[in-house]
Structures are given as structure tokens and as C-alpha cells.
Amino acid sequence: MIGGGLRRHLRFIGRRVAALLAGGATAGLVLGVVEIGFAYSLQAFLAALGVLSLDAASLPSWLPRGGMRTALSLVAFFGVTRGLLQAVQNFLQSVTMEEAQLLQRSRILRWALHGESASSSRVASMFNQRAMVTASTIYSVQGLVVQLTVGALLAAALLAISPLVTLAAAAAMLLFAPLLLWADRRIKDVSADSIAHWDRTNSRLLMSIRNLLLLQICGMQAREEALAQDSLRSYVRKMYRFYTLTSMKMAAPQIAGPLLGCLIAVVSQRRGLMAPAALISYFYLFQRLIQAFTSVNQNMSALIFGLPHYRELFGWWSLAEEDPGSG
């Protein structure tokens, strides 16, 4: 799909960014486990308070048993760990993006100053927009890794509670696949078009400024401006399409989730597929799975949108055959 082999891509993104990506993904994975632990602890706590009619069997076997004191320690432990990990993951993700931008911009700087000659509009476009979108593409890969693993963990927990119900729910979710695949294909087209429009706008603007005096003498500013404004507007129109598609992709599972959840609850109760006490864990984990699914979906959109930018910068780097530099 992108070409060039994993090794080349690792050299392209740089050792530092790769390490940060791995660090952020690890923090995200641990966070996923802690989130599940936190959810069960809260249930144990509410059961200890006498609010939830939960029998011990509906809590996983690895969770320590005991009264209120045990439940409170669990909530405190998972709560504090979760808060810390969220902050760490947030920090690592932001820093990954910043470092990815730094490396690419630093390479663009060196290339622009040591190469034969470079068009300043091309450099400006690469230095600003291309480096930024490439960095956020790398960022969405990290999001994908984390959310897919958290999703797999949640799905495993759901399968453990009730294999039959989970497989039926998975089959129902699969009905959305064609819609999502169609949207992803459209996003790919929109992305390629938006690059073209952005570049055109940027190069027109910088070229006009360089030749401003000439344009003024010939009285062509108005025409030049109209052309630049047009391509700016075409770019925004493409972005509108992109947002329409991603919002639609976001809405589908969010709407289907609670409906499917209720359906599961009612059918399970009528047919006796699950004990009522197990149902509350199931319901909660199912909603979290839908969240993870939505997140995977959004990261996928961002990835598909960013890939042409990434590919272009990767292609430039491959051609320039720079040494990996500060990476």
C-alpha cells in the first residue's frame, strides 16, 4: 500500500519517534487493562456499598475478594494509576507528534539549504502542512494500535461472559462494514484532492508575492487573487466532504451501540442466556467496546486522509537519499 519496506519507514520516521511511538502504545495498552480493572473495582465497590445486587461470580476471578476496605483500595489503586497513565499517554502522544514534525522539518531545512535550488512555495508547503499531516498520520497509527488492542481485550472479556451473545452482536456490527468501507474509499479520494488544492493555493500565493510589482504594473492582482481564492475555497470544500464522511462514520456505531445493547439485555433475560448479575458487567464492557470501535474508526479516517501526505514526504526523502540524520 505504501511500499518501501518496514525498515525504510522506520528510518524515515526516525529512531526517536519510533521509540516514543512504542512507549505511547505501551502506556495505552497498560491503560486499557487498568480501565477494565477500574470498571470491575467500581462494581465491587458499589456491591460492597449494597447498591448493586451483584453476586461474587460476576466479578472476574483475578480481582481480590473482601469487604468494603478491599473494594476501596482497588478503586483507589486503579483510579490513581489510570489518572497517571492517562497523563503519561497524553504527554507521549503529543511529544511523538512534535518530534515527528521536528525531524521532517529539520530534514527539509537541510535539503532546502544544501540542495541545488528549491522553490520556496514547495518548501513552505512541505515545511508547514506536509510535515504536520505526516506527523499526525504517525500519531493515528499509535492510536490504532492502542485502540485495537483495548478492543481485543474487551472482546475477550465479553466472549468469556457469554460467547453466544457476543458472536451474535459481532455479526450485527458487521452489517456496518460496507458503509464504513465505502466512506473510507471516499476519504482516500478527498485526501488526494485536498493536497492538490492546498499546494496550488500556496504556490500561487508565494509566486504572486514574489512578482507583486510585475502584477501591479500589469494590473493583474485582481485576477491572481481570484484564482488563489478559488483554489482556497476548493480546498475547504474538500475538507467539508471529509468532515461529513467522518461524522457519518462516527454516528453509525454510536447510534447502533445502545440499541444493540438493549436488544442483547432483553433477549438474554427472556431466554436466560445470562444471569442478571453478569448482565451489568456485560452491558458496561459492551459500551466500552463500542467506544473503542468508534475510536479505531476515527483513527482509520485520519490515517487514510494522511497517508498521501506521508507517502509524498516519504517519496521525497527516499529520492533525496539523505542519511537518517537526527532520527
Cα–Cα dist 307/313, whole Å: 10
Cell numbers 514534525 correspond to what residue? 101
Residue 195 is a binding residue for its own copies (CB under 8 A): no
106 binds its own copies (CB under 8 A): yes
Q: Should residue 316 be labelled a site residue for its own copies when binding is judged by CB under 8 A?
A: no
Burial of 148 (0-12, 13-18, 19+ CB in 10 A): middle
Instruction: Please tell me whether residue 99 binds its own copies under the rule CB under 8 A.
Output: yes
56 binds its own copies (CB under 8 A): no
Q: Which residue has the cell 470498571?
A: 39
Q: How far apart are CA 268 and CA 264, in angstroms?
A: 6
Of positions 29, 33, 127, 180, contacts its own copies by CB under 8 A: 127
Q: Give min distance, CB of 2 to its own copies, in A.
A: 26
Long-range contacts, 107-112 (Cβ 8 Å, 24+): 107/317, 107/320, 107/322, 107/325, 110/322, 110/325, 111/320, 111/322
Gap between the Cα atoms of 42 and 46, Å rounded: 6
Only segment of 94-102, 134-142, 156-164, 179-187 that touches its own copies (CB under 8 A)? 94-102
179 binds its own copies (CB under 8 A): no
Asked whether position 273 contacts its own copies by CB under 8 A, the answer is no
CA distance 145 to 140: 9
What Å distances lie between residue 130 and 213, 313, 317, 322, CA to CA?
A: 30, 7, 13, 18
80 lies in the site for its own copies, by CB under 8 A: yes
Size of residue set near its own copies by CB under 8 A: 85
Shortest distance (Å) from residue 307 CB to its own copies: 19
19 binds its own copies (CB under 8 A): no
Q: Binders of its own copies among 213-252, rule CB under 8 A?
A: 213, 215, 221, 224-225, 228-229, 232-233, 236, 239-240, 243-244, 246-248, 250-251
Tell me if 95 contacts its own copies by CB under 8 A: yes
202 forms part of the interface with its own copies (CB under 8 A): yes
Q: Residue 172 in contact with residue 314, Cβ under 8 Å? A: no
Among 3, 60, 163, 276, contact with its own copies (rule: CB under 8 A): 276
Q: Which stretch binds its own copies (CB under 8 A): 1-9, 103-111, 146-154, 307-315?
A: 103-111
